[in-house]
Every structure is written in C-alpha cells, then in structure tokens.
Amino acid sequence: MGALQDRVAIISGAGTGLGRAASISFASAGADVVLLGRRKAKLEETALAVKERTGKEALILQTDVSDEAQVQEAIAAAIRHFNRIDVIVNNAAVFEPGTVLELTSNEWQNQIAINLTGPFLLTKAVLPAMRKAKYGRIINITSGLSWNGAGGYAAYSAAKAGLESLTRTLADEEHEHGILVNLYNPGTLRTEMHATGKDPAIVTPDLIRLASLPIGGPTGTIVSYG
C-alpha cells in the first residue's frame, strides 16, 4: 500500500509544473486527487497523465483560487464526490516581476489575491471537513524570496512572506484538531514560471512525506528541498 492509500488530496495549480508532478506522485502513492486550476485544458492534460501512470481517475474542478464563491463550490464538489478531504497542497501561484515603484495597485492585488488570499480561502473552506474528521495535512508552497526578498519581485515576495506567517498561525490554531500545517520550499523548478531549474518530479517525495505525517507530527515548520 502507498503512503497515501485511501487519502483524498486537493492540489491547486494542478495544470502544470509542480502541481502536475505532485498530482501524479500523490496518485501513485495511493491518493485520490482533486485538480484545481483556472485552465481546464491543462487540468485535463494532468488528469490524463494521472490516468496513464496510475490508472486513477482524477477529479477536475476548474477554479480561480482567488474567487471565494468558486473555492467554496469546488470544495463542496470534492466533498460530495469523495466524502472527505485529507490533504491540500496550496501550490497555485503567479510569479510576475515588478518593483514597488513600477507595480500598479491592480498588479499588486492580483498577485496577493492568488499567492496569499487563495491559500487562505482554500484552507478556510477545507477546515470544517478536516476538523470533523480530526485529521488534515495542509502544505503551503513557499520560496526563499519570502525572507530575503528580491529586487523586482515585490508582490510575490511579500505574498510568500505572508503565507509563511499564515502557516504558522494555522499550525497553532489547528493542531488540537489533528491538522498539521507546514511549508515547503522546493527551490528553483523548471516550470511555466521559470525556464531553468530542477524537474518538479524530483521534489515530490518531500511533499508525500509532509502529506503522510503521523499523528502528532511536526507542524508550523518549513522544509526545503535538499
């Protein structure tokens, strides 16, 4: 049996990159996977890859994670389909350049909405089901830019710093309910957002370990690849 046998895992940003790699790896480890993303065609490509590699049928839910109504409907649909949610990987992100002086208010708000508000909305939506089950594993994808910043990436860096603080807060609030909340920094990956870096599949074993932590396992921590 795989490390995630009979678990249900939601993965945001599942259409490409780390989200796609995680979806395949989680299904290979025995999980039923729910794919969230804005581009249905990309989600369908991921679902096909999951089916070809594992024989499992992934649930596709086209969702803008920054839209609260869409998030709530997606989580409700996932619960109707599988009757539970055990794991969520908050991976959806936009990585767009812009200095503080250059960024428009709308550009700033868009990156905060997807990179920080999105994980907040998804987590808020899954918490009632996780609390009821007295079990949950939440993994938030972060970046080294959260603590050292980077000239030209003001909104992304600020959003990831906020996500790290949110993660530690959630860990404190939810541990008594059997819910573990951790951060994962994969380093530079070769994805649509970045032309060079590691193959995302290389880091997915770390995600599986965080997704399958035992009761009383670490929470509020940050794990980095390598």
Q: So which residues are the catalytic ones? A: 156
What is the rounded distance in angstroms from the CA atom of residue 28 to the CA atom of residue 156? Answer: 31
What is the rounded distance in angstroms from the CA atom of residue 130 to the CA atom of residue 109? Answer: 29
Q: Which amino acid is at 194?
A: H
| Secondary structure in 3-state letters for the chain | CCCCCCCEEEEECCCCHHHHHHHHHHHHCCCEEEEEECCHHHHHHHHHHHHHHHCCCCEEEECCCCCHHHHHHHHHHHHHHHCCCCEEEECCCCCCCECCCCCCHHHHHHHHHHHHHHHHHHHHHHHHHHHHHCCEEEEEECCCHHHHCCCCEHHHHHHHHHHHHHHHHHHHHHHHHCEEEEEEECCCECECCECCCECHHHHHHHHHHHHCCCCCCCCCCEEECC
Residue length of the chain: 226
Tokens of 180: 């573990």
